[in-house]
Amino acid sequence: MATIREIAEKAGVSVGTVSFILNGKGDKMRISVATQERVLEAARELGYLPSISARRLRNSDEKKIPVITILWTLDARASLISRFLQGIQEKSLFKDGMFELLIQPYENGKIHEVESLHTGTRFNGAIIANASKEDLEYLERTNLNVPIVLYQRYSEKYCTVNVDSRLTGIEVAEYFASKGHKSVGIVVPEISSQAVDLRQEGFLEAVKNSGMINSQILRGDFSEEGGYSVIQSLVKRSKDLPTALFFLSDPMAVGAILACHEHGIRIPEDLEIIGHDNDEQTAYTYPPLTTVHLPVEEMAVACVNQLMELINHKVETTGSLEFKTELVKRKSSKS
């Protein structure tokens, strides 16, 4: 709000003097204690807040490195960001000082409220994660003036780093079919997303093609509680449970495991469970969870690299990278 010029005026000194004092160089510059007091007091009264932009502008070291941001939703999926960051960390992409990383939370469905995507006043490029369908539509029809990489989404317009979610759905369904299941289900988080839709689509299609008799779509919150509730209501509704379930999030599967224990449903004998993402905890549930490994760490590195290339004009704006998921077989499915 207040600038050092206002402080200077109020304290009756020059801006240079104010700057020195505010930076603790008052003594070194041999400015009298009385003056220092006066200036500090004035700063306090005016509620001085240094402008970091102005400071940076002066510091030549910090001018050259690009600032990149990760736009991530702060809902239940917030916990997934740690793997993303660790992926970047492991490659020690930070250390080289090639970029500065900024994580900016946004609300699901409200990416249009992130003004800096238009103003370009905060970062040189952005990685957008967890975009909902509304968010994606918005991005498709808007012209951003900032290089962008989409994580886990498809787009004609932007650079993307993705996996074939449809194929994942197919593979899990075929895995179930190969085990001879006749009645299966897919448990879908109540968060609209392209990736979830595609997994579901692939799964259902493959289920149909494989001649399984019965398949159902169940919905629940993305979290442990969501998976727990799904089992609860399944048990309440009928005695004829499906014999295999594909949960589109690991936390849901974790919640489901507890519910099964409580209802005496044996895993995998009565019910096979497969999760999605391969979160660290899934190797330690009881029984350990079979899950679809999402190469988050590798994708994170790819996102950063792609974005850097974009920023450096070294690549077209619509390049795409596709990674592979992989079924990690543990004990929640029959061997």
Residue of 15, 31, 101, 167 that binds a copy of itself (CB under 8 A): 101
When asked if residue 213 is in the footprint of a copy of itself (CB under 8 A), the reply is: no
When asked if residue 98 is in the footprint of a copy of itself (CB under 8 A), the reply is: no
When asked if residue 281 is in the footprint of DNA (CB under 7 A), the reply is: no
DSSP sequence for 165-204: HHHHHHHHHHHHHHTT-SEEEEEEESS--HHHHHHHHHHH
Indicate the residue among 23 and 214 with the shorter CB distance to DNA: 23
At position 263, the amino acid (one-letter code) is H
When asked if residue 288 is in the footprint of a copy of itself (CB under 8 A), the reply is: yes
- Whether the CB-CB separation of 240 and 233 falls below 8 Å is answered with no
As a whole number of angstroms, the distance between CA 118 and CA 137 comes to 16
When asked if residue 20 is in the footprint of DNA (CB under 7 A), the reply is: yes
When asked if residue 266 is in the footprint of a copy of itself (CB under 8 A), the reply is: no
Residues 6+ apart with CB under 8 A from 227: 187, 220, 247, 249, 251, 252, 253, 254, 255, 256, 259
The footprint of a copy of itself on this chain (CB under 8 A) covers a number of residues equal to 65
Binds 264: which of DNA, a copy of itself, none (CB < 5-8 Å by kind):
none
Look-up of token digits 């549930």? 285
Indicate the residue among 4 and 304 with the shorter CB distance to DNA: 4
Indicate the residue among 20 and 247 with the shorter CB distance to DNA: 20
Task: Report in angstroms how near the CB of residue 91 gets to DNA at its nearest.
Answer: 28
Q: Which of residues 43-62 bind DNA (CB under 7 A)?
A: 48-51, 54-55, 57-60
When asked if residue 4 is in the footprint of DNA (CB under 7 A), the reply is: yes
When asked if residue 283 is in the footprint of DNA (CB under 7 A), the reply is: no
User: Among 281, 290, 292, 283, which Cα is nearest to 251's?
Assistant: 281
As a whole number of angstroms, the distance between CA 328 and CA 335 comes to 12
User: Among 205, 160, 175, 153, which Cα is nearest to 315's?
Assistant: 160
Residue of 28, 30, 64, 141 that binds a copy of itself (CB under 8 A): 64
Residue of 284, 317, 318, 322 that binds a copy of itself (CB under 8 A): 284
Task: Report in angstroms how near the CB of residue 3 gets to a copy of itself at its nearest.
Answer: 9
Indicate the residue among 8 and 231 with the shorter CB distance to DNA: 8
228: buried, middle or exposed (CB in 10 Å: 19+, 13-18, 0-12)? buried
Residue of 47, 61, 63, 240 that binds DNA (CB under 7 A): 63
Strands 290-293 and 326-328 come out as antiparallel
Sign of the CA dihedral with 282 first, then 288, 294, and 299 last:
positive
Residue of 9, 10, 19, 334 that binds DNA (CB under 7 A): 19
When asked if residue 312 is in the footprint of DNA (CB under 7 A), the reply is: no
> Strands (DSSP E) along 26-66, which ranges?
none
Q: What are phi and psi of 234, to 5 degrees?
A: -65, -45
When asked if residue 1 is in the footprint of a copy of itself (CB under 8 A), the reply is: yes
User: Among 326, 316, 319, 314, which Cα is nearest to 302's?
Assistant: 319
When asked if residue 22 is in the footprint of DNA (CB under 7 A), the reply is: yes
At position 334, the amino acid (one-letter code) is K
Residue 122, CA atoms < 13 Å, CB-side half-sphere: 14
What residue ranges bind a copy of itself (CB under 8 A)?
Answer: 1, 23-24, 43-44, 47-57, 59, 62-64, 66-67, 74, 78-79, 81-82, 85-86, 89, 94, 100-105, 119-124, 143, 145, 223-225, 228, 251, 254-255, 257-258, 261, 280-281, 283-286, 288, 311-313
Binding site for DNA (CB under 7 A): 3-5, 12-17, 19-20, 22-23, 29-32, 34-35, 48-51, 54-55, 57-60, 63, 120
